[in-house]
């Protein structure tokens, strides 16, 4: 018995270490990280190194707990501002989009497999949700700086679509396991009522649980080493409590993280670092376990139908669902096409495909194997094309800031405050002489190994170490002051125009100087107000507004979304890049959107070159 404990520990830790090392390969070559983890699990399983693992209950239990940890961390790291910006379209995709994908995919599965209608829709529900971990690892590994609206939509959709897919999958498994043929109308009513009850209970317990987590952290004087474990345990308690009373535990744990992460919780930087590490560990363990559970020798029997269904999901079901859901939101076609393509399937789809085995369904193993192959197909095809497609569609913008050398330190007895240690990098605003605001005066400056007061050190120099004691919700202005200039590719040098204009000047001056196409009622607006009005109140970094002979480009916005810097380009923007044929299902949606809008659709923002000019410019 003792020898078995050592052996299991040795094998388990060796697999985790191998998965961790594989992440270095993924970062170097931009490979889908989830694909590597699954590959290690498959290679170590019964058809590889010979590790036999065929316990569906343990695999589902481990996967569910790991997913709860990942969802809490995802909610904890989602700012409320992101919800305001992209919450409605993302939540539409996470609810209505999952349902549409399930139906369209289920119809195809019925005709391509020997499954019944309910089994076909069950398979569709299992693969209807997207995997956030795979998507955002690829964006980081490929150094892809997406437009904020697109990134926010993908983040929220990926964090909130799992509960709906889980509800549909478990409900269909229960119905099929009963063996009776339910009345279609009664089935629809039961699904709707059950979904509403689960979501309401899950949301209520999640919000209450997040509030209690914050209050307990504030009131209990726990050791700093114990605090992150305490918060993680409470999050799992929220997950279990919601599921125990019939609510959605996954929605509850995500909302608990959202509430806790957007409150003034103590030791927030320590919690973020700990949860980031636990999220990585949960992903590795979940992917390895699911890979071990699969049996590749069973794949050939269903390989052709599974590959066809995987391609159908990527090229038909997901794009149609996305285009239909985003019609009311007037999102440019290029952005909609990218969102529809970045629908990578991952561990959640494999986890849900285990539920038919738990329910004892006759075709449970076939459903699992097909879902597994669909996930592998999605990761191989979509995983390696995210970056190239984003560049082709013109959705990548230059980096906002350059390198930043910063360390966040927490001091005992300093609730809601932290000590920030900056190293002044060459080219940063403070290195060029810009003043630090009064509310953030440095407590200490270390130069050439000598400590000195801020009042005695004169102008900050490159290489200085600056220590600033500020509230933990400090404005982003400090990072801007200490960050170096971002390195811009040669083709992006004129992305924001050749020069800036004063955003407080009247828009009518643009018409007088440059012949800009401005309506009569817009002439008395400031340039910032004009851009905000043309963009319907939603302004973000790198947005572009065409005014006939010139383009105005948003160079920077403050924390409240107000424009603080505007670039001007005299060369008109080129036409938007064409959407690939396999993602052009939005043509119908585009026409419907223009019909309801009552006017032609505004071209999507895009990089272009700019030339120098004179007039309202602030700098050359």
Position 312 scores a pLDDT of 95
DSSP letter for 604, please. P
User: Residue 410, exposed/middle/buried by CB under 10 A (0-12, 13-18, 19+)?
Assistant: middle
Position 27 scores a pLDDT of 59
Asked if pLDDT for residue 600 goes beyond 50, the answer is no
DSSP letter for 506, please. B
Tokens 């390969």 correspond to what residue?
Answer: 25
Reported confidence tier of residue 183, pLDDT bands at 50, 70, 90 = low
Over residues 420-458, the pLDDT tens digits come to: 788 888 877 878 777 777 777 777 888 887 888 777 767
Q: Which residues contact 574 (CB under 8 A, 6 or more apart)?
A: 606, 608
Q: What percent of the chain has pLDDT over 70?
A: 76
Instruction: Look at residue 201 and give its three-state secondary structure.
Output: helix
Asked if pLDDT for residue 213 goes beyond 50, the answer is yes
Position 529 scores a pLDDT of 85
Position 596 scores a pLDDT of 46
Position 322 scores a pLDDT of 93
Q: Do the beta carbons of residue 250 and residue 352 sit within 8 Å? A: no
As a three-state string, the secondary structure of 345-359 is: CCHHHHHHCCHHHHC
Q: Which residues contact 616 (CB under 8 A, 6 or more apart)?
A: 501, 502, 505, 509, 510, 513, 568
Asked if pLDDT for residue 377 goes beyond 60, the answer is yes
Which range of 90-104, 282-296, 332-346, 567-581 scores highest in mean pLDDT? It is: 90-104
Higher pLDDT, 287 or 19: 287
DSSP characters for 165-180? HHHHHHHHHHHHHH--
Mean pLDDT of all residues belonging to the chain = 79
Asked if pLDDT for residue 611 goes beyond 60, the answer is no
CA distance 418 to 517: 49
Distance from the Cα of residue 339 to its chain's centroid: 11
Read off the pTM: 0.79
DSSP letter for 436, please. P
DSSP characters for 91-121? HHIIIIIHHHHHHHHHHHHHHHSS--HHHHH
Over residues 312-366, the pLDDT tens digits come to: 999 999 999 999 999 888 788 888 889 999 888 888 888 899 999 998 898 999 9
Phi, psi of 263, rounded to the nearest 5 degrees: -105, 175
**Mean pLDDT along residues 582-606:** 49
Higher pLDDT, 85 or 343: 343
Distance from the Cα of residue 520 to its chain's centroid: 41
Position 219 scores a pLDDT of 85
- Sorted by where each starts, the structural domains of the chain and their CATH numbers stand as 2-392 (1.20.1530.20), 405-482 (3.30.70.1450), 493-597 (3.30.465.10)
Which range of 175-184, 329-338, 387-396, 465-474 scores highest in mean pLDDT? It is: 329-338
Q: Do the beta carbons of residue 415 and residue 266 sit within 8 Å? A: yes
Over residues 449-504, the pLDDT tens digits come to: 788 877 776 777 888 888 887 765 555 667 777 777 665 555 555 677 767 788 88
Position 610 scores a pLDDT of 35
Asked if pLDDT for residue 13 goes beyond 70, the answer is yes
Distance from the Cα of residue 586 to its chain's centroid: 23
- 165, 172, 97: which is closest to 352 by C-alpha? 165
Over residues 254-310, the pLDDT tens digits come to: 999 999 988 878 777 788 888 888 888 888 888 888 888 888 889 998 999 999 999
* CA geometry: angle 405, 407, 409, nearest 5 deg: 165
Q: Which residues contact 61 (CB under 8 A, 6 or more apart)?
A: none
Higher pLDDT, 26 or 619: 26
Over residues 140-157, the pLDDT tens digits come to: 555 677 777 888 888 788
């Amino acid at each position: 018995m003792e020898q078995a404990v050592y052996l299991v520990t040795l094998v388990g830790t060796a697999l985790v270490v191998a998965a961790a090392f594989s992440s270095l390969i993924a970062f170097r070559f931009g490979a889908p990280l989830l694909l590597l983890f699954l590959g290690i699990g498959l290679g170590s399983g019964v058809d590889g190194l010979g590790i036999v693992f065929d316990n569906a209950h343990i695999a589902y239990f481990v996967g569910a707990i790991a997913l709860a940890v990942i969802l809490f961390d995802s909610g904890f790291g989602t700012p409320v501002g992101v919800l305001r910006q992209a919450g409605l379209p993302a939540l539409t995709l996470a609810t209505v989009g999952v349902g549409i994908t399930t139906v369209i995919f289920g119809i195809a599965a019925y005709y391509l497999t020997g499954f019944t209608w309910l089994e076909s829709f069950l398979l569709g529900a299992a693969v209807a949700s997207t995997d956030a971990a795979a998507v955002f690892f690829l964006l980081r590994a490929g150094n892809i700086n997406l437009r904020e609206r697109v990134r926010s939509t993908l983040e929220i959709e990926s964090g909130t679509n799992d509960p709906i897919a889980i509800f549909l999958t478990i409900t269909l498994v229960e119905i099929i396991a009963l063996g009776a043929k339910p009345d279609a109308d009664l089935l629809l009513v039961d699904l709707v009522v059950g979904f509403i009850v689960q979501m309401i209970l899950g949301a209520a317990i999640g919000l209450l649980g997040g509030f209690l987590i914050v209050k307990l952290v504030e009131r209990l004087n726990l050791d700093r080493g114990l605090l992150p474990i305490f918060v993680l345990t409470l999050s799992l308690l929220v997950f279990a409590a919601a599921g125990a009373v019939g609510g959605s535990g996954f929605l509850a744990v995500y909302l608990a993280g959202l509430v806790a992460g957007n409150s003034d919780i103590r030791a927030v930087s320590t919690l973020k670092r700990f949860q980031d590490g636990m999220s990585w560990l949960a992903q590795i363990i979940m992917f390895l376990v699911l890979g071990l559970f699969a049996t590749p020798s069973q794949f050939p029997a269903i390989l052709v139908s599974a590959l066809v269904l995987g391609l159908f999901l990527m090229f038909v079901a997901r794009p149609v669902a996305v285009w239909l859901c985003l019609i009311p939101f007037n999102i440019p076609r290029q952005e909609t096409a990218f969102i529809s393509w970045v629908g990578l399937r991952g561990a959640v789809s494999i986890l849900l495909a285990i539920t038919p085995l738990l329910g004892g369904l006759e075709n449970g193993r076939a459903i699992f194997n097909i879902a597994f192959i669909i996930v592998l197909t999605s990761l191989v095809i979509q995983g390696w094309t995210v970056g190239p497609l984003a560049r082709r569609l013109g959705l990548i913008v230059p980096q906002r800031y350059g390198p930043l050398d910063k360390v966040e330190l927490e001091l005992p007895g300093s609730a809601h405050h932290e000590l920030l240690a900056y190293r002044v990098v060459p080219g940063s605003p403070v290195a060029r002489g810009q003043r630090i605001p009064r509310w953030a005066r440095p407590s200490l400056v270390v130069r050439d190994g000598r400590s000195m007061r801020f009042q005695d050190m004169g102008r900050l120099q490159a290489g200085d170490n600056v220590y600033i004691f500020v509230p933990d919700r400090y404005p982003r202005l400090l990072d801007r002051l200490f960050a170096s200039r971002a390195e811009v590719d040669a083709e992006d040098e004129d992305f924001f125009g050749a020069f800036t204009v004063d955003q407080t000047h009247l828009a009518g001056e643009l018409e007088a100087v440059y012949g800009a196409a401005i309506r009569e009622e817009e002439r008395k607006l400031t340039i910032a107000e004009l851009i905000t009005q043309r963009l319907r109140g939603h302004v973000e970094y790198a947005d572009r507004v065409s005014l006939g002979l010139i383009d105005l480009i948003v160079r920077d916005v403050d924390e409240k979304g107000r424009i603080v810097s505007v670039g001007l380009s005299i060369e008109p923007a080129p036409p938007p890049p064409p959407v690939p044929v396999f993602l052009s299902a939005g043509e119908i949606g585009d026409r419907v959107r223009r019909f309801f809008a009552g006017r032609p659709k505004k071209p999507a923002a895009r990089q272009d070159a700019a030339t120098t000019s004179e007039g309202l410019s602030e700098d050359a």
